[in-house]
Each structure stands twice: as C-alpha cells, then as structure tokens.
A and B are shown apart, each in its own frame.
Chain A
C-alpha cells in the first residue's frame, strides 16, 4: 500500500479492483430450500475453484466451531453450502462428532476440512485416526496443520505425515491454517509447493500487504480459504463499546462477508454460523454484490476504529521529546490489536533499544505527537507499553 493511501482509500480502491476483475471459475446456481422451518426462499449459490485441488466450493462456506445444533449444519448443506470446517481441537473433539452427525447422509456431496494442532509427528498421526473416526468417514477432504504462523512452526516431519496420509488415501488435500504472519508464511508455502490449500484470517480491516501475500499464494496454485471475515465480529467487542454498536448494526456483518468474497483470490469463506437466521443472512452474500450502501457501512466501521488503529501513513505531527519512534510503536500495536499478530508486535517492540523500551508515556505531562487522522497517540502508546514491555 502506498504510504500516502488512507485506509478508507484502500477500501475503495480494493473494492473497485474486486468489482472490476472477472471472477475466474465462478458459476452460479439456484438451490431451493426444501423444507425450512420458515418460508422457503431460493438461495443463489456462487462457486469457485479451490486452487489446484480443482474442488468447486461455494464462496460462502461454514465454520462449525461454535455451532451447537447439528440441524443448522444439515440445513446449510441442504441449501447448497458445500464447504464445512472443523478441527480436532474444537470442543475437545465434540465438534467433529457433531459435524459428522449433521452431514452423515451427505458425506459424498460436501467438502469437510479439519485440522490438527498436534505438537509432534506421533500426536499428529493419532489425531488423524481420531478425526477419521469421529467424522465417521474414510477420508478427510482437506487436512490442515492448525494455527501455524511462521515457517519455523511447520516442521518437515509433520509435512511428511500429511503427505503420507495423502498417499494412503486418508486425506485428499493438505494445507495450513494461519492467524498471523501471513506475509511471511504464504510466500513460503507458495514456494514450498507441497501444500494445496491455505486457511487464513482475512477481512476488510487488513492492509494491502495481506492482498499481496494472498495473491502470491493463489498464483502458485494454493486454494485460499478466508476465516475471521467478520473482523472479529461482535463477540470480540464489549457491549456498550461504539465499535460493538457499529458491528451489530443491521447489514454490517453481511457487508464484511461480501467484501471478502468479492476478492477473486479467495475461493471460499468460513464464517461461524450458530443459527438458522445467521445462515439465511450469510447466504445473501452470494445473491448480490457489495452495494454502495454496504460500502458505506464498512467505511463507518473503519471510522469507528480510527482512534484505535494507526494507518501507518507516516504523517505524524511532531516528534517524541524522549526520542521514541512513535509511528513504529503504533505500528507494532496495530500488528497486535488490528491484525491479531501479537507475537510479531511484541517481537518488533523488543527490538527497540533498552532506553526506548524503558520509557513510559504516563511519565510525560503532555504528548508532543499528534495524529492527523485522530489516533489517540498517548493512550495507544501507553497500551503498547502495557502490552509488550
């Protein structure tokens, strides 16, 4: 992203690009809701190809992690959603069991991904067998290494376990799920050439470096699945918080989902769905493109988080009297608070000189640095010191 480009500009630019580019491999179909408890409404489905796997996936999939009733998953499958995500670690395995109960009769019609967070090769092999048993299936469509945030966290012997499972026919495709460090991990995966899919956090609050990482992965043939598409969603916010209000306003979550599926490099998304109403709402994301009104909703949300997140524009007004590199520290905080990359933020902070690390902004009478975009510099610097120091 150009350093002079504001986050709002970035949003508009990205949206324009997303709308202008053709959606490769996309097709449409209409699925009829066969027996909804409510009035049946036709669902328009969009499909994309999941990278080199060749699988045709609906652009809206389903994250099953916090779904509590299997009927929601069954209905999602009946309505035509064909990508379902779970993990060995979700609810100590209970989630895989519920997914199996919900999809049992439709196993061949759907794509199931699960993940292993095993710390070593032996545990990983055990996880695979347990996942197969709990999912009540002979094969897993996509098997991810769970939550790996740098190449260092992907040992060769675990890749070997994945490849062996593929040869044995227990797994069709392999991948990595990642929450942080995508800018480093995705190009590495692209170059490594042994993975088929990447599951990554991605949403409208992220900057262009994430788009570049995803494009690199997609160009290398990796299928890209997006999670955290609702930017953390209202669960992450506290009631009464203005950000919470913005996120819970009607249409905000749908707009966030539409923003992601407009990106041609994203094959599918896995928003968490807990009830029939959310399911119906998310299905709308495939029915119509992001509108100007929805774009305004997202812009309003970005305005709401503006006092919190440094946009890294480099236009700080003034300099710290004690020599602190304010823009850098705010950037580290954005890694943690904005993009969920706490480890990266702390790592960068710890690279500051001992003198800078020891400074506490609360010792100053007044902050000499002002942000032209309204970031509350003093409060944010104090938070960075509280979080990282």
Chain B
C-alpha cells in the first residue's frame, strides 16, 4: 500500500506540476496577489465555475489556474484554462468573444475591453475580469498590460486555425467552433460555423473519407425530399424546417455547406464557392 501511495503521490505531483502556469499579479504597477494560485480540473471545476463549468468541459477542458489580484479597492481575477488542444482553446475564445468587437492581435486572437480581456494562445484560454471600484472607469491599459504579460509566459501557437480562412469572407459576421451538434444536428459532431448577414456556413472534419461518407449518407436520409447537387465528391440540397435552404457537400474527410438561406438553390450556389477553398 505504501508503494502504491508513493506512486500515487508522484503521479499527483507530476499532474500538479504540469497544471501550473507561472501566474502572479505583477503585470502592472500597484497590483499584488490576493491569495494563492488555485488549480481546478474537470472533476472540480464546478466548485469554481458552478453552472458555467459545462461550457468549458464541452470544449475539451483539461485544467485551470486562477489567481485574484488587488490594487487599492480594485480587484481582478485571472483564469488560465488549459484545453486539450489549441483548436479547443481558440474555440472557447470564439464562444466567449463579443461579435460586435474586433479581434485584437494577441496570441491566436483576443479582445481587450475596459475592465476585461480574453485571448487564446496555444492550448491556453485566458480570461481577465476586473471588478473596479468605479464600474465606469476605463482600465484598458491595465487589461492590455496583464494580457501582454501573461501571453509572454504561455507557450504555443499564435496563428488562428487554418480552417477559418476557408470560409468566404464577404458579409462574414463571426466564426465559432461548435464543440458538439453543429447546426443542432447530432450527426455533425464538431466543427466551425460562420455566421453571415444571411445564412450560415459550416465545416466539419471527420476522421476519414469513409466515415465522412457514412455521415453524409445519414444526413441525406435525415432531410426528406433532398435532391442531389453537383459539388465535389457528393452533395445534396434541401428545404428544411429550422434550417431553411440547406446544401451539404462532402470533400474527402470534410463535410461542409450552407444553411438558413431562403432557398436550397442559393445554399447550393454558395456551397459551390466554398468547396474549392477547402483542401
């Protein structure tokens, strides 16, 4: 039992060491730590994030380091979430970003506001939230300083996922990674969805062309009255409740298309433009 306990403690220590991100509050003058760095895993994130924990878990959450900082009457909290991979980190950022605000060039992408900041770098997703004595105060400079300082300490990719570039850019509103059930369809497990002024496009990557073909077949059966479309490997178009005019095509391992257009023909026309952009 002693050997097992020793092994367990070594494993736990290794796990904790891996989880630790060098985190403190010395990113802007006058800020000091208020308490110690706390660690959370998927098992106990509920203790910290309560009802919001599922949002993190659905994107592939591994662990989180968090610290509270204080400067006079102002406090801020830094949450550094380590996700399973960089795409998941960027995905969580896209879920939380304000689509009305531009993306700032920090890490793979971020947003800095007067009392909050978020960004993703490598497999890390960072949230900085201030509770200022004066809720109207503009503390953008503090947020920028903290975000820049933390970014330097994190390793990993600084370029956004390649798939984002494949979407047509005209009239593009925002792009999100959907961690499960793209378009509300269980068959489409995980993928990117781009919202446009009218309609939405999606790209889902399957593990192989064969599995993509299998999903395509089931999707086609799901939409009554679908008609074939002439796009890449195979495609269909349909008019469906809730998704309106929809066109789905398969290109190798990818399933992609357009939905929520006034009619299926429009969806197919846009899908035909999207297809050559996907490798």
**Given A37-B240, A146-B51, A336-B44, A276:B1 Cβ within 8 A:** no
**Are B135 and A126 neighbours in the complex by a CB distance under 8 Å?**
yes
**Given A235-B54, A236-B57, A275-B185, A75:B242 Cβ within 8 A:** yes
**Are B243 and A37 neighbours in the complex by a CB distance under 8 Å?**
yes
Chain B residue at minimum C-beta to C-beta distance from A270: B51
**Are A36 and B98 neighbours in the complex by a CB distance under 8 Å?**
no
Q: Is B52 an interface residue (CB 8 A)?
A: yes
Chain B residue at minimum C-beta to C-beta distance from A227: B51
Q: Is A122 an interface residue (CB 8 A)?
A: yes
**Are A123 and B243 neighbours in the complex by a CB distance under 8 Å?**
no
Least Cβ–Cβ distance between B77 and chain A, in angstroms: 10
- C-alpha gap A277/B184 in the complex (Å): 9
- Convert A222-233 into 0s and 1s, putting 1 for each residue whose CB lies closer than 8 angstroms to a CB of B: 000001000010
**Given A35-B241, A68-B178, A147:B47 Cβ within 8 A:** no
Least Cβ–Cβ distance between A387 and chain B, in angstroms: 8
Interface residues of A in 69-115 (CB under 8 A from B): 69, 71-72, 74-75, 87, 89-94
- Convert A368-389 into 0s and 1s, putting 1 for each residue whose CB lies closer than 8 angstroms to a CB of B: 0000000000100010001100
In this complex, the member of B6, B96, B99 whose beta carbon has the largest number of chain A beta carbons within 10 angstroms is: B96
Q: Report how many residues on chain B are interfacial, defined by Cβ distance under 8 Å.
A: 45
- Convert B40-57 into 0s and 1s, putting 1 for each residue whose CB lies closer than 8 angstroms to a CB of A: 001110110011101101
Least Cβ–Cβ distance between A63 and chain B, in angstroms: 9
With A91-B55, A91-B96, A94-B96 known, 12 other A-B pairs at CB within 8 A are A65-B55, A66-B54, A68-B178, A69-B184, A75-B242, A87-B52, A92-B96, A92-B118, A177-B51, A179-B51, A336-B44, A343-B47
**Are A71 and B12 neighbours in the complex by a CB distance under 8 Å?**
no
Least Cβ–Cβ distance between B46 and chain A, in angstroms: 5
- C-alpha gap A122/B1 in the complex (Å): 55
Least Cβ–Cβ distance between B275 and chain A, in angstroms: 22
In this complex, the member of B46, B96, B131 whose beta carbon has the largest number of chain A beta carbons within 10 angstroms is: B46
Chain B residue at minimum C-beta to C-beta distance from A178: B50
**Are A382 and B5 neighbours in the complex by a CB distance under 8 Å?**
yes
In this complex, the member of B51, B96, B131, B224 whose beta carbon has the largest number of chain A beta carbons within 10 angstroms is: B51
**Given A69-B182, A276-B184, A362-B8, A119:B98 Cβ within 8 A:** no
Residues of chain B within 8 A (CB-CB) of A123 are 131, 135
Interface residues of A in 343-365 (CB under 8 A from B): 343, 361-365
Q: Is A278 an interface residue (CB 8 A)?
A: yes
Residues of chain B within 8 A (CB-CB) of A364 are 1
- C-alpha gap A236/B179 in the complex (Å): 15
Chain A residue at minimum C-beta to C-beta distance from B50: A147
- Convert A273-313 into 0s and 1s, putting 1 for each residue whose CB lies closer than 8 angstroms to a CB of B: 01111100000000000000000000000000000000000
Contact of A179 (CB < 8 Å), options: B43, B50, B222: B50
**Are A89 and B1 neighbours in the complex by a CB distance under 8 Å?**
no
Ordered by A's residue number, 20 sampled pairs between the chains whose C-beta atoms are within 8 Å are A65-B54, A66-B179, A68-B180, A69-B193, A72-B181, A90-B52, A91-B55, A92-B96, A93-B98, A122-B135, A123-B131, A126-B135, A177-B51, A179-B46, A236-B57, A277-B186, A336-B44, A340-B47, A366-B1, A382-B5
Q: Is A120 an interface residue (CB 8 A)?
A: yes
**Are A71 and B181 neighbours in the complex by a CB distance under 8 Å?**
no
Q: Is B97 an interface residue (CB 8 A)?
A: yes
- C-alpha gap A37/B260 in the complex (Å): 13
**Given A71-B183, A75-B242, A91-B55, A340:B46 Cβ within 8 A:** yes
- Convert B183-206 into 0s and 1s, putting 1 for each residue whose CB lies closer than 8 angstroms to a CB of A: 111100000010000000000000
- Convert B1-20 into 0s and 1s, putting 1 for each residue whose CB lies closer than 8 angstroms to a CB of A: 11001101100100000000
Q: Is B140 an interface residue (CB 8 A)?
A: no
Chain A residue at minimum C-beta to C-beta distance from B16: A386
Q: Is A272 an interface residue (CB 8 A)?
A: yes
Residues of chain B within 8 A (CB-CB) of A87 are 51-52
- C-alpha gap A74/B186 in the complex (Å): 16
- C-alpha gap A319/B2 in the complex (Å): 19
The interface of chain B, by Cβ under 8 A from chain A, is: 1-2, 5-6, 8-9, 12, 42-44, 46-47, 50-52, 54-55, 57-58, 95-99, 118, 131, 135, 176, 178-186, 193, 222-224, 240-243
Chain A interface bracket (under 10, 10 to 19, 20 to 34, 35 or more): 35 or more
**Are A274 and B223 neighbours in the complex by a CB distance under 8 Å?**
no
Least Cβ–Cβ distance between B178 and chain A, in angstroms: 5
- C-alpha gap A87/B44 in the complex (Å): 21
Contact of B184 (CB < 8 Å), options: A71, A92, A363: A71
Least Cβ–Cβ distance between B89 and chain A, in angstroms: 15
In this complex, the member of B5, B6, B42, B193 whose beta carbon has the largest number of chain A beta carbons within 10 angstroms is: B5
Residues of chain A within 8 A (CB-CB) of B8 are 362, 382
Residues of chain A within 8 A (CB-CB) of B186 are 275-278
Residues of chain A within 8 A (CB-CB) of B99 are 94
Residues of chain A within 8 A (CB-CB) of B96 are 91-92, 94
Q: Is A342 an interface residue (CB 8 A)?
A: yes
Residues of chain A within 8 A (CB-CB) of B178 are 68-69
- C-alpha gap A366/B184 in the complex (Å): 52
**Are A66 and B184 neighbours in the complex by a CB distance under 8 Å?**
no
- C-alpha gap A147/B52 in the complex (Å): 10
Residues of chain B within 8 A (CB-CB) of A367 are 1
Q: Is A192 an interface residue (CB 8 A)?
A: no
**Are B181 and A275 neighbours in the complex by a CB distance under 8 Å?**
yes
**Are B180 and A91 neighbours in the complex by a CB distance under 8 Å?**
no
**Given A69-B181, A123-B131, A362-B8, A342:B50 Cβ within 8 A:** no
**Are B242 and A71 neighbours in the complex by a CB distance under 8 Å?**
yes
- C-alpha gap A318/B42 in the complex (Å): 34
